[in-house]
Amino acid sequence: MAEFHRCSNCGLASWRASVFLVVLLSLTLVACSYFDDVPIVEISLESGVPFPGMPLSFKAKVIDHDSPRITYKWLVDGKVEASRSDSLVYEPTIDGMHLVLCQARDSYHSATDSYDLAVPSPGTPSYEKSRKLIGWLSLAFAVDTNFGFNYHFYGLKDFTGLGDDWNAIGTREDGGAVVGGYRPSSSDWSIYDPSNSEIDILYVFKFDDEAHMSGYAYIIPDASPELMSMGFFLVGQKVTDSKGRASVPSGSPPSLQLLKQSLVQTPDSVLERYKKLKALAAAMTAWE
Protein backbone atom coordinates (compact mmCIF):
# COMPACT_ATOMS: atom_id res chain seq x y z
CA MET A 1 0.00 0.00 0.00
CA ALA A 2 1.35 3.39 -0.94
CA GLU A 3 1.95 5.81 1.86
CA PHE A 4 1.20 9.56 1.66
CA HIS A 5 3.16 12.03 3.69
CA ARG A 6 1.94 15.55 4.45
CA CYS A 7 4.43 18.26 3.61
CA SER A 8 4.52 20.71 6.50
CA ASN A 9 6.62 23.17 4.51
CA CYS A 10 4.00 23.28 1.73
CA GLY A 11 1.23 24.10 4.21
CA LEU A 12 3.32 26.84 5.77
CA ALA A 13 4.09 28.32 2.35
CA SER A 14 0.40 28.30 1.42
CA TRP A 15 -0.53 30.03 4.69
CA ARG A 16 2.14 32.67 4.17
CA ALA A 17 0.93 33.29 0.61
CA SER A 18 -2.64 33.79 1.85
CA VAL A 19 -1.53 36.25 4.51
CA PHE A 20 0.55 38.12 1.95
CA LEU A 21 -2.42 38.43 -0.43
CA VAL A 22 -4.68 39.70 2.36
CA VAL A 23 -2.11 42.29 3.42
CA LEU A 24 -1.51 43.33 -0.19
CA LEU A 25 -5.24 43.72 -0.82
CA SER A 26 -5.66 45.78 2.36
CA LEU A 27 -2.75 48.03 1.41
CA THR A 28 -4.21 48.46 -2.08
CA LEU A 29 -7.59 49.48 -0.67
CA VAL A 30 -5.94 51.91 1.76
CA ALA A 31 -3.87 53.41 -1.03
CA CYS A 32 -6.91 53.79 -3.30
CA SER A 33 -8.85 55.40 -0.50
CA TYR A 34 -5.96 57.73 0.30
CA PHE A 35 -5.42 58.93 -3.25
CA ASP A 36 -9.10 59.02 -4.25
CA ASP A 37 -10.58 62.54 -4.43
CA VAL A 38 -13.14 63.41 -1.79
CA PRO A 39 -16.33 64.49 -3.63
CA ILE A 40 -17.65 68.03 -3.31
CA VAL A 41 -21.42 68.49 -3.39
CA GLU A 42 -23.51 71.68 -3.64
CA ILE A 43 -27.33 71.89 -3.50
CA SER A 44 -29.31 74.52 -5.40
CA LEU A 45 -33.01 75.27 -5.78
CA GLU A 46 -33.52 74.90 -9.53
CA SER A 47 -37.19 75.87 -9.84
CA GLY A 48 -40.30 76.54 -7.84
CA VAL A 49 -41.42 79.19 -5.38
CA PRO A 50 -41.36 78.19 -1.68
CA PHE A 51 -44.96 77.94 -0.52
CA PRO A 52 -47.03 75.20 1.13
CA GLY A 53 -48.24 72.77 -1.52
CA MET A 54 -45.92 74.06 -4.27
CA PRO A 55 -43.40 71.55 -5.75
CA LEU A 56 -39.74 72.58 -5.54
CA SER A 57 -36.95 71.10 -7.66
CA PHE A 58 -33.52 70.74 -6.05
CA LYS A 59 -30.31 69.75 -7.83
CA ALA A 60 -27.04 68.40 -6.40
CA LYS A 61 -23.88 69.33 -8.30
CA VAL A 62 -20.99 66.97 -7.51
CA ILE A 63 -17.32 67.46 -8.35
CA ASP A 64 -15.36 64.20 -8.25
CA HIS A 65 -12.58 63.75 -10.82
CA ASP A 66 -11.83 60.05 -10.37
CA SER A 67 -15.13 58.34 -9.48
CA PRO A 68 -17.61 58.03 -12.36
CA ARG A 69 -20.25 56.42 -10.15
CA ILE A 70 -21.84 58.55 -7.45
CA THR A 71 -24.72 57.48 -5.20
CA TYR A 72 -27.10 59.99 -3.63
CA LYS A 73 -29.18 60.15 -0.48
CA TRP A 74 -31.64 62.98 0.22
CA LEU A 75 -33.16 63.93 3.55
CA VAL A 76 -35.67 66.65 4.47
CA ASP A 77 -35.92 67.52 8.15
CA GLY A 78 -34.12 64.26 8.94
CA LYS A 79 -36.51 62.08 6.92
CA VAL A 80 -35.01 60.05 4.07
CA GLU A 81 -36.58 60.85 0.68
CA ALA A 82 -37.19 58.32 -2.10
CA SER A 83 -34.90 59.98 -4.66
CA ARG A 84 -31.55 58.28 -5.30
CA SER A 85 -30.47 60.56 -8.15
CA ASP A 86 -28.87 64.01 -8.25
CA SER A 87 -32.28 65.72 -8.18
CA LEU A 88 -35.15 65.96 -5.71
CA VAL A 89 -38.71 67.22 -6.06
CA TYR A 90 -40.06 68.25 -2.66
CA GLU A 91 -43.46 69.70 -1.87
CA PRO A 92 -43.59 71.37 1.56
CA THR A 93 -46.88 70.79 3.33
CA ILE A 94 -46.40 73.38 6.08
CA ASP A 95 -44.69 76.74 6.44
CA GLY A 96 -41.60 77.40 8.53
CA MET A 97 -37.94 76.45 8.22
CA HIS A 98 -37.00 73.15 6.59
CA LEU A 99 -33.57 71.55 6.13
CA VAL A 100 -32.87 69.84 2.80
CA LEU A 101 -29.76 67.66 2.89
CA CYS A 102 -27.97 65.64 0.20
CA GLN A 103 -25.23 63.07 0.78
CA ALA A 104 -23.10 62.11 -2.24
CA ARG A 105 -20.83 59.06 -1.99
CA ASP A 106 -18.22 57.57 -4.30
CA SER A 107 -16.41 54.27 -3.73
CA TYR A 108 -14.50 55.47 -0.67
CA HIS A 109 -15.71 58.88 0.53
CA SER A 110 -18.88 60.86 1.08
CA ALA A 111 -19.74 64.55 1.21
CA THR A 112 -22.83 66.39 2.41
CA ASP A 113 -24.41 69.75 1.68
CA SER A 114 -27.56 71.33 3.12
CA TYR A 115 -30.07 73.97 2.04
CA ASP A 116 -32.05 76.07 4.51
CA LEU A 117 -35.55 76.34 3.04
CA ALA A 118 -37.82 79.09 4.36
CA VAL A 119 -41.49 78.49 3.54
CA PRO A 120 -43.69 81.49 4.38
CA SER A 121 -47.10 81.36 5.97
CA PRO A 122 -50.02 81.79 3.57
CA GLY A 123 -51.22 85.36 3.73
CA THR A 124 -47.82 86.99 4.42
CA PRO A 125 -48.40 90.36 2.68
CA SER A 126 -44.91 90.94 1.24
CA TYR A 127 -44.78 87.37 -0.02
CA GLU A 128 -48.21 87.38 -1.67
CA LYS A 129 -47.59 90.73 -3.37
CA SER A 130 -44.01 90.08 -4.51
CA ARG A 131 -45.13 86.72 -5.87
CA LYS A 132 -47.05 88.60 -8.59
CA LEU A 133 -43.70 89.29 -10.26
CA ILE A 134 -42.90 85.59 -10.74
CA GLY A 135 -42.79 84.65 -14.43
CA TRP A 136 -41.70 86.54 -17.56
CA LEU A 137 -42.22 90.32 -17.72
CA SER A 138 -41.71 92.71 -20.64
CA LEU A 139 -41.12 96.39 -19.78
CA ALA A 140 -40.64 99.39 -22.07
CA PHE A 141 -40.05 103.11 -21.63
CA ALA A 142 -39.10 106.05 -23.87
CA VAL A 143 -36.25 108.53 -23.47
CA ASP A 144 -35.38 109.84 -26.94
CA THR A 145 -36.20 106.43 -28.34
CA ASN A 146 -37.91 103.35 -27.01
CA PHE A 147 -36.16 100.91 -24.70
CA GLY A 148 -37.56 97.46 -23.96
CA PHE A 149 -36.29 94.63 -21.74
CA ASN A 150 -37.52 91.18 -20.77
CA TYR A 151 -37.14 89.82 -17.24
CA HIS A 152 -37.60 86.37 -15.74
CA PHE A 153 -38.39 86.18 -12.02
CA TYR A 154 -38.06 82.63 -10.74
CA GLY A 155 -38.02 82.76 -6.94
CA LEU A 156 -38.61 84.67 -3.71
CA LYS A 157 -36.12 85.40 -0.96
CA ASP A 158 -36.52 86.82 2.53
CA PHE A 159 -33.18 88.57 2.90
CA THR A 160 -33.85 89.60 6.50
CA GLY A 161 -34.50 86.05 7.70
CA LEU A 162 -37.51 87.33 9.67
CA GLY A 163 -40.13 86.06 7.24
CA ASP A 164 -41.78 89.44 6.67
CA ASP A 165 -39.82 91.12 3.84
CA TRP A 166 -39.96 88.90 0.76
CA ASN A 167 -38.56 90.03 -2.58
CA ALA A 168 -38.53 88.46 -6.03
CA ILE A 169 -35.22 87.40 -7.58
CA GLY A 170 -34.59 86.88 -11.27
CA THR A 171 -32.54 87.72 -14.34
CA ARG A 172 -32.72 89.97 -17.35
CA GLU A 173 -32.92 88.16 -20.70
CA ASP A 174 -29.16 88.56 -21.17
CA GLY A 175 -28.46 86.92 -17.80
CA GLY A 176 -27.93 89.90 -15.47
CA ALA A 177 -29.35 89.47 -11.95
CA VAL A 178 -32.31 91.63 -10.90
CA VAL A 179 -34.41 91.98 -7.76
CA GLY A 180 -37.90 93.37 -7.18
CA GLY A 181 -40.66 93.60 -4.63
CA TYR A 182 -43.76 95.27 -3.25
CA ARG A 183 -43.84 98.48 -1.20
CA PRO A 184 -46.86 98.56 1.16
CA SER A 185 -46.65 102.29 1.96
CA SER A 186 -47.21 103.26 -1.69
CA SER A 187 -49.04 100.09 -2.81
CA ASP A 188 -46.81 99.56 -5.83
CA TRP A 189 -44.01 97.34 -7.13
CA SER A 190 -40.42 98.11 -8.07
CA ILE A 191 -37.63 96.32 -9.93
CA TYR A 192 -33.92 97.11 -9.71
CA ASP A 193 -31.81 96.31 -12.79
CA PRO A 194 -28.04 96.81 -12.38
CA SER A 195 -27.21 95.00 -15.64
CA ASN A 196 -25.39 97.96 -17.22
CA SER A 197 -21.89 98.63 -15.88
CA GLU A 198 -22.38 102.42 -15.69
CA ILE A 199 -26.08 103.02 -15.07
CA ASP A 200 -28.85 101.29 -13.14
CA ILE A 201 -32.54 101.21 -13.97
CA LEU A 202 -35.29 101.37 -11.36
CA TYR A 203 -38.86 100.60 -12.39
CA VAL A 204 -41.78 101.69 -10.20
CA PHE A 205 -45.23 100.60 -11.33
CA LYS A 206 -48.67 99.27 -10.47
CA PHE A 207 -50.65 96.42 -12.01
CA ASP A 208 -53.52 97.77 -14.09
CA ASP A 209 -54.91 94.22 -14.23
CA GLU A 210 -53.46 90.72 -13.83
CA ALA A 211 -51.27 91.06 -16.93
CA HIS A 212 -50.54 94.76 -17.55
CA MET A 213 -48.52 97.35 -15.64
CA SER A 214 -47.83 101.06 -15.93
CA GLY A 215 -45.54 103.42 -14.05
CA TYR A 216 -42.15 105.08 -14.45
CA ALA A 217 -38.56 104.12 -15.16
CA TYR A 218 -35.64 105.97 -13.57
CA ILE A 219 -32.10 106.09 -14.97
CA ILE A 220 -29.48 106.19 -12.21
CA PRO A 221 -25.72 106.72 -12.65
CA ASP A 222 -24.16 103.93 -10.63
CA ALA A 223 -21.47 106.19 -9.17
CA SER A 224 -23.81 109.13 -8.43
CA PRO A 225 -27.32 108.01 -7.44
CA GLU A 226 -28.22 111.56 -6.41
CA LEU A 227 -28.21 112.38 -10.15
CA MET A 228 -31.17 110.07 -10.75
CA SER A 229 -33.23 111.13 -13.75
CA MET A 230 -36.82 112.17 -13.66
CA GLY A 231 -39.29 109.35 -14.31
CA PHE A 232 -39.88 108.16 -17.85
CA PHE A 233 -43.31 106.75 -18.60
CA LEU A 234 -43.32 102.95 -18.44
CA VAL A 235 -45.66 100.25 -19.71
CA GLY A 236 -45.31 96.52 -19.30
CA GLN A 237 -47.00 93.20 -19.50
CA LYS A 238 -46.68 89.89 -17.73
CA VAL A 239 -46.04 87.30 -20.43
CA THR A 240 -46.16 84.12 -18.33
CA ASP A 241 -46.97 83.28 -14.73
CA SER A 242 -44.98 81.16 -12.24
CA LYS A 243 -46.13 77.93 -13.93
CA GLY A 244 -45.25 79.09 -17.44
CA ARG A 245 -48.86 79.75 -18.42
CA ALA A 246 -49.57 82.69 -20.71
CA SER A 247 -50.83 85.72 -18.79
CA VAL A 248 -51.77 87.74 -21.90
CA PRO A 249 -54.57 86.15 -23.96
CA SER A 250 -53.49 84.89 -27.36
CA GLY A 251 -53.96 87.50 -30.08
CA SER A 252 -54.30 90.44 -27.69
CA PRO A 253 -52.44 93.59 -28.79
CA PRO A 254 -49.11 94.06 -27.00
CA SER A 255 -48.73 96.92 -24.57
CA LEU A 256 -45.16 97.58 -25.68
CA GLN A 257 -45.79 99.99 -28.53
CA LEU A 258 -44.32 103.37 -29.38
CA LEU A 259 -44.35 105.58 -26.30
CA LYS A 260 -44.40 109.32 -26.00
CA GLN A 261 -41.69 110.64 -23.72
CA SER A 262 -43.29 111.70 -20.45
CA LEU A 263 -41.45 112.93 -17.38
CA VAL A 264 -42.42 113.27 -13.73
CA GLN A 265 -40.47 114.62 -10.82
CA THR A 266 -38.67 111.98 -8.78
CA PRO A 267 -40.02 111.68 -5.22
CA ASP A 268 -37.53 111.14 -2.40
CA SER A 269 -39.06 107.74 -1.68
CA VAL A 270 -37.82 106.46 -5.05
CA LEU A 271 -34.19 107.11 -4.12
CA GLU A 272 -34.73 105.36 -0.78
CA ARG A 273 -36.25 102.39 -2.57
CA TYR A 274 -33.36 102.31 -5.04
CA LYS A 275 -30.84 102.14 -2.20
CA LYS A 276 -32.74 99.33 -0.50
CA LEU A 277 -33.06 97.19 -3.64
CA LYS A 278 -29.43 97.81 -4.52
CA ALA A 279 -28.42 96.52 -1.08
CA LEU A 280 -30.66 93.48 -1.57
CA ALA A 281 -29.06 92.80 -4.96
CA ALA A 282 -25.63 92.86 -3.31
CA ALA A 283 -26.92 90.46 -0.65
CA MET A 284 -28.36 88.24 -3.37
CA THR A 285 -24.96 88.02 -5.07
CA ALA A 286 -23.34 87.04 -1.78
CA TRP A 287 -26.10 84.52 -1.06
CA GLU A 288 -25.71 82.83 -4.45
- How far is the C-alpha of 65 from the C-alpha of 36, rounded, in Å? 9
32-36, 180-184, 225-229 — which is least confidently predicted?
32-36
CA-based nearest residue to 41, from 56, 16, 59: 59
pTM: 0.60
pLDDT at residue 250 in the model: 42
**Residue 229 · residue 151 · CB < 8 Å:** no
Which residue from 201, 127, 202 is spatially nearest to 160, judged by alpha carbons?
127
Q: Which of 209, 197, 198 is nearest to 247 (CA)?
A: 209
Lowest mean pLDDT among 16-25, 58-67, 123-132, 199-208: 16-25
CATH topology (fold) of 40-119: Immunoglobulin-like (2.60.40)
Element (H, E) at 239: strand 231-240
- Flag whether pLDDT at 59 surpasses 70: yes
Residue 95: pLDDT above 50? yes
pLDDT tens sequence across 108-155:
788 999 999 888 776 677 788 888 999 899 999 887 778 889 999 988
Per residue in 26-48, pLDDT tens? Answer: 545 444 444 457 788 999 988 87
